[in-house]
Homo-oligomer: A and B are copies of this chain.
């Protein structure tokens, strides 16, 4: 059964291919296809307070500040984010979720999770148990 994964290189190859393909399938489930992956990702970052100012968001998303200016402008225009003044530094802006932004994220998570839950249901109980063991390891790998 594990013929391709006996060696570390074999395991890495199999993981690399299936993780890439699974991620593409998950991305395709996104709710509002008029929002890009970066836009969704910025909403998530603001929602979880991983980043709040335009500079922090650019750094977090690995894009340049002028690109982030445009991403934020679009999200503001759509009423998904709003801007508040920084308490001490007038140069900076603090981004915050609007109720519409929060609702959109929630629906997006619901959709993608529902798609994957359906796929998990098609596995055997033993296979799901294996994935439960593997999930925290994949989590660790992704943060390495």
Return the chain B residue nearest A133 by Cβ: B130
B-contact 0/1 string along A117-144, CB 8 Å cutoff: 1011111000110111111111111111
Q: Chain B residues near A18: list those with CB within 8 A.
A: 135, 138-139, 141-142
Contact, CB under 8 Å: A130 / B141: no
Query: Are A112 and B14 in contact, with the CB atoms below 8 A?
Result: no
Count residues of chain A with CB under 8 A from any CB of chain B. 51
Q: How many copies does the complex hold?
A: 2
Beta-carbon contact of A134 and B136 below 8 Å? no
Is A21 an interface position by the 8 A CB rule? yes
Q: How far apart are the CA atoms of A69 and B140 in the complex, in Å?
A: 40
- The residues in A between 21 and 59 inclusive whose CB is less than 8 angstroms from any CB of B are 21-27
